[in-house]
Structure 1
Amino acid sequence: MDWITKLMEALGSPGAGLAVALENVFPPVPSEVILPLAGFTAGQGKISLIAAILWTTAGSVVGALVLYGLGAWLGLERLRKIADKIPFVTASDVDKADEWFDKHGTKAVFVGRMVPVVRSLISIPAGVSGMPVLKFTVYTAAGSLIWNSALILAGYALGENYQLVDRYLGWISTAVVAALVIAIVWFAVSRSKARRS
């Protein structure tokens, strides 16, 4: 928190954007902490509210493009080969996921940018599936603008109580992680039973 505060004090709104870009790639501190802090800082008059929203949205896009590039580099064929080496997973699973993403990828990217944990991860399958970069950028920017604006404005309105945003959204993050873990366990168990039968 001290590092992020000093970054914003030194660089202003671009500092908040840089923190969000880094958080997208390797999240040491979640956006649920960074964005309300940016709103609180704007409320103190140290940075511009509009600039904070625009810079953090730009940071979100930059971070997402890094992970998109990772997915594109990984590619579908390489992912299929990796899948064949993972227990309970096959190349056909990758193909099914890719088909799903071809149909629903646009909505997944847009909505995914507003879901804790998923907001970073969604960029990788977008790159793997070969979603056009321009389309990915537009929907990432749109979803990020909504998410960033909501959290920054919440921090702005709450003032010194801005940490309440992270406290309540922390429950959502925990629920998302729990749902992902349950889905993975269910997949592994059901695949194991199918193989035995």
Structure 2
Amino acid sequence: MSDGPLPWMLTHGSAAVLFLVLVAGGVGVPIPEDLVLLATGILSHRGVLPLPLALAMAFCGVLCGDLLLFLTARRLGPALYEHRRLRGLLPPERRERLARLYARHGGRLVFAGRFLSVLRGAVFAMAAVQGMPVRRFVLWDALALCVSVPVVVGLGYAFSHSVDRVTRGLGRVEHGVVITAVLGLVALVLARAVRARRAERGISPPPPRAAKPPRRRATP
């Protein structure tokens, strides 16, 4: 196993340590979130953490980190865009594009952003600056975590005997999760667009056919 944060977490990891690392990663500390989730699954397989506790801890840790980032961005407002890390990640043209996407899709953009490791923080910060309510952010982020957390923790649990191989293949798994999430999002948007177009045209689904009354038997 190569040197890095993963071996350290497997040696010193506990529920409290992993939770704090996930929260710290959510607010910008350069610790790969997926490695922490992998370590959580591996430690669960080794009997250090019961699997239900591992999943709950991972879910809450990531959600708390995301929420802390969201609240910080909301407090700073548009001044956040001048931060040295976000100036390169969110140039004016990309900022305008994200703002248009947010105006059109709202919470669905937060859902998709959770699977984009490069733009995740920028998408969450944009949602905060655009004035998304906290409850709505938590709802969409939690829905995305219901997909991502079990997948990555389960990957670490199932393949704990081959950590290096799992780590190398994590990018492909994340790519597959992104494709699945985007396809689901596209299907949802298309379904809503079709319903909206039908409503504009005044087209409603045909009423159910009334059941035919039973034939009366002729009396002798």
Normalised TM-score (structure 2):
0.64
Unaligned runs of 5+ in 2: 176-220
Q: What is the rounded CA distance, in whole Å, between the counterparts of 1:57 and 1:120 in structure 2?
A: 17
**Contact 2:115–2:174 (CA under 8 A) maintained in structure 1:** no
The verdict on how the C-alpha distance between 1:120 and 1:149 changes in structure 2, with shifts beyond 3 A counting, is farther
Q: Does 1:35 align with 2:40?
A: no
Alignment size in residue pairs: 165
Equivalent of 1:14, from 16, 30, 48?
16
- Structure 1 residue 43: deviation in Å? 0.3
Q: What is the rounded CA distance, in whole Å, between the counterparts of 1:33 and 1:69 in structure 2?
A: 25
- Structure 1 residue 152: deviation in Å? 0.5
Q: What is the rounded CA distance, in whole Å, between the counterparts of 1:166 and 1:31 in structure 2?
A: 12
After superposition, the C-alpha distances for 1:150-173 in whole angstroms (9 at most, x for unaligned) are: 011001000121333331234688
Q: What is the rounded CA distance, in whole Å, between the counterparts of 1:159 and 1:115 in structure 2?
A: 25
Unaligned runs of 5+ in 1: 175-197
User: Aligned ranges for residues 90-101 of structure 1 at < 5 Å?
Assistant: 94=95, 97-101=98-102
**Contact 1:16–1:52 (CA under 8 A) maintained in structure 2:** no
Q: Does 1:166 align with 2:174?
A: no
Task: Find the counterpart in structure 2 of residue 155 from structure 1.
Answer: 156
Task: Find the counterpart in structure 1 of residue 184 from structure 2.
Answer: none
After superposition, the C-alpha distances for 1:39-66 in whole angstroms (9 at most, x for unaligned) are: 1110011101111111111111111112
Letter of the 1:155 partner, please give it.
G
Letter of the 1:28 partner, please give it.
P
Q: What is the rounded CA distance, in whole Å, between the counterparts of 2:118 and 2:51 in structure 1?
A: 25
Letter of the 1:126 partner, please give it.
A
Letter of the 1:148 partner, please give it.
V
Letter of the 1:109 partner, please give it.
V
Q: What is the rounded CA distance, in whole Å, between the counterparts of 1:72 and 1:166 in structure 2?
A: 34
Q: Which is further off, 141-150 or 93-102?
A: 93-102
Equivalent of 2:65, from 43, 63, 68?
63
Equivalent of 1:4, from 9, 16, 20?
9
Normalised TM-score (structure 1):
0.70
Task: Find the counterpart in structure 1 of residue 49 from structure 2.
Answer: 47
Name the structure where helix makes up a greater proportion of residues: 1
Q: Does 1:26 align with 2:31?
A: no
